Structure formats: C-alpha cells, structure tokens
Amino acid sequence: MKKIQISTDQAPKAIGPYAQGIAFGDLIFTSGQLPINPESGELEQGTIEEATHRTVANLQAVLAEAGSDISKILKATVYLADLSNFAAMNAVYNEYFGTTPPARTCFEVAALPLGAIIEIEAIAHK
C-alpha cells in the first residue's frame, strides 16, 4: 500500500506544508478543516453554528474527493476556541451525524489558525 494525497478545490487550500487529506488503503485521514470558504479563501466564522456548517462542508468535500462521505467517519476530533460553544456546536454536529455518530474527542484550545473558532479533523473509510 502507498499513501495517496487528496486534493480538491471544493475545500480550502492548505495554509501550510500539509495535504488536505491522505488515503492509505481503505482509510482516509483528513487534515483539520476550518470554516474557510474555498472559493474566496476567506474565514467565514459568524456564529458557532455557521462556522460548524462551513467546517463540516469542507470536511465533506475532502472525503468526497477520496471516495467517501461523512457517514463513513470512524473518529473525529473537534477543536473549539471557546468550550462555551460546545452545546451549540453539538446541535449542528448532530444534524450531520445523527443516530450513528463516529467516536469523537472535543476540547478547547488556546488558539486556532487564522483566529478560527472551530476546526474538525477525521479518520474515515472508503
């Protein structure tokens, strides 16, 4: 098996020396996705709800490019700039993952790139 870089213009370009995602066998590892509009390259934060929707859309785009989707996420990690946004983020997150959500870790961090309020990364299968 070899690792295959995932790249799509439907998700924001990497803002550093990393891939949007890597496929290895039947597994897909995404880099953390921020609420960046892939067309404008601008951070779209707004409310935590709006930022979560945009972040999940970016995650979906990377997974789609790799031949997967969010229903196949096995493990997600959510980084929040402010843990007081946990309940509101969870409400939006639940819209996407519903009754069979992946395993998940969520925690507050001191800061996120570009001053974002949320970042999500995932491991999925094809």
Secondary structure class of 9 (helix, strand, coil): coil
pLDDT class for 99, splitting at 50, 70, 90?
Answer: confident
Per annotation, catalytic residue among 4, 27, 64, 106: 106
Domain span holding position 87: 3-125
How many domains does one find in the chain?
Answer: 1
- How large is the angle between the packed helices 48-65 and 86-97, nearest 10 degrees? 40
pLDDT class for 107, splitting at 50, 70, 90?
Answer: very high
Q: Known catalytic residue: 106? A: yes
Instruction: Tell me what the pLDDT averaged over the chain comes to.
Output: 96
pLDDT class for 14, splitting at 50, 70, 90?
Answer: confident
Could you tell me the pTM of the whole model? 0.96
- Name the nearest CA neighbour of 28 among 55, 71, 68, 77: 68
Query: Which amino acid, one-letter code, is at 121?
Result: E
CATH code of the domain containing 56:
3.30.1330.40
